[in-house]
């Protein structure tokens, strides 16, 4: 079995080194100007799609201009937000942000929950949980919060049992109390999971990367999270210094508007993206 705690420590250290080398400081200490323009770092799907909908349909009436900068990983949007290159970002859950802040000494803070992307277990090899063979290789996200979330998903699917009292957000393979199929776990960087399907028996894939790979948790997953009472909402995030910025507040209001809720429900009618409230 992989020593996932060691791997997480290595990946967090790598992310920290990348973040610190990229920004040269822990975080921006001053709020950005309130000038009617907000620059947002986002992953392409669905985050940039949602922001572009707002930009094209709602922003002008709100007196706001939205500039979207797309990133394909989970580190650089926080780096850009912390060093002030952008005003905010939109891609992550609160547990992931908390882990990032601890690892990098940043003060990024959540502003508004927007949507939930149910996590799913996918496979190119089998079509049901029962078909997973003894000793099957399962890829999971390599960062701590998403890795714990993946293990909780596998536990909900009945494939493993976590030890009593373990917080799923903090769970690692060492917390697996029962593994009747002797599953082997392969932690990978989240962006690599969809591309790993041909090399593993199954993979737990984050919602945005599943969407990019044209995978639906409702239609393609062997098992997926329920959106009900799901603690993994995706948030608009900025620095503590920027938390009261009026432009960021306007964007938060638009992200939680009835129009955006309807856009999400219409665009992702298969349940791959669900409004957070």
Task: For 77-97, write each residue's pLDDT tens digit.
Answer: 999 999 999 999 999 999 999
Instruction: Give pLDDT, residue 207.
Output: 95
Indicate the helix (H) or strand (E) that contains 251: helix 246-255
For residue 30, is it within any domain?
A: no
pLDDT by residue (tens digit) across 167-207? 988 899 999 999 999 999 999 999 999 999 999 999 999 99
Q: Is residue 29 part of a domain?
A: no
Within this chain, do residues 132 and 218 fall inside the same structural domain, yes or no?
Answer: yes
Q: 99 with 139, same domain?
A: no
On whether both 106 and 134 belong to a single domain, the answer is: no
> Which of 187, 203, 224 is a domain's end point?
224
pLDDT for residue 34: 84
Shared domain check, 247 and 174:
no
- Please give the pLDDT value at position 21: 39
190 and 251 share one domain: no
pLDDT at 277: 80
Contact assessment for residue 180 and residue 151, using Cβ atoms and an 8 Å cutoff: no
What pLDDT score was predicted for residue 208?
A: 96
CATH number at residue 209: 3.40.190.10
Q: What is the pLDDT of residue 27?
A: 55
Find out whether 24 and 192 touch, Cβ atoms under 8 Å. Answer: no
Answer yes or no: do 196 and 254 share one domain. no
Residue 254 falls within a domain, yes or no?
yes
* Helix, strand, coil percentages, rounded to 5, for the chain: 40, 20, 35
Q: What is the pLDDT of residue 28?
A: 62
Asked if residue 32 belongs to a domain, the reply is no
Q: What is the pLDDT of residue 51?
A: 98
Q: Which residues of the chain have pLDDT under 50?
A: 1-26
For the question of whether the overall pTM of this predicted structure is more than 0.75, the answer is yes
* 208 and 260 belong to one structural domain: no
DSSP string, 12-39: HHHHHHHHHHHHSSSS--SPPP-SSEEE
Flag whether 198 is in a domain: yes
Residue 16 located in a structural domain: no
Q: Work out the mean pLDDT of the chain and round it to a whole number.
A: 90
The residues with which 178 forms a beta bridge, in sequence order, are 161
pLDDT of residue 29: 61
Question: According to the model, what pLDDT value does residue 6 have?
Answer: 35
Say if residue 106 is in the same domain as residue 164: no
Q: Answer yes or no: do 131 and 258 share one domain.
A: no
Total count of domains within the chain: 2
> What are the structure tokens assigned to 71, written together?
């990133």
Supply the range of the domain harboring residue 59: 39-118+231-275
Alpha helices (runs of H) in 45-156, residue ranges in sequence order: 49-57, 76-82, 94-104, 144-156
């Amino acid at each position: 079995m992989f020593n996932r705690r060691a791997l997480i420590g290595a990946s967090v250290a790598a992310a920290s080194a990348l973040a610190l080398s990229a920004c040269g400081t822990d975080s921006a200490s001053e709020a950005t100007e309130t000038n009617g323009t907000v620059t947002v770092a986002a992953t392409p799907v669905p985050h940039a799609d949602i922001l572009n909908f707002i930009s094209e349909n709602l922003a002008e009436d709100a007196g706001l201009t939205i500039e979207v900068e797309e990133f394909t990983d989970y580190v650089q949007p926080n780096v850009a937000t912390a060093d002030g290159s952008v005003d905010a970002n939109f891609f992550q859950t609160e547990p992931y942000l908390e882990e990032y802040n601890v690892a990098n000494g940043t003060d990024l803070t959540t502003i508004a929950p927007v949507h939930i992307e149910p996590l799913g277990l996918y496979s190119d090899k089998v079509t049901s949980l029962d078909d997973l063979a003894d000793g099957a290789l399962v890829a999971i996200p390599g960062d701590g919060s998403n890795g714990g979330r993946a293990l909780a998903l596998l536990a909900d699917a009945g494939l493993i049992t976590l030890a009593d009292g373990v917080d799923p957000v903090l769970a690692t393979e060492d917390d697996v109390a029962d593994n009747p199929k002797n599953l082997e776990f392969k932690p990978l960087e989240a962006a690599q999971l969809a591309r790993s399907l041909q090399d593993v028996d199954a993979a737990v894939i984050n919602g945005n990367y599943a969407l990019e790979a044209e995978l639906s948790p409702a239609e393609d997953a062997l098992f997926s999270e329920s959106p009900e009472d799901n603690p993994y909402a995706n948030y608009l995030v900025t620095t503590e210094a920027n938390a009261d910025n009026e432009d960021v507040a306007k964007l938060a209001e638009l992200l939680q508007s009835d129009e955006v809720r309807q856009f999400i429900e219409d665009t992702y009618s298969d349940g791959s993206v669900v409004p957070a409230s």
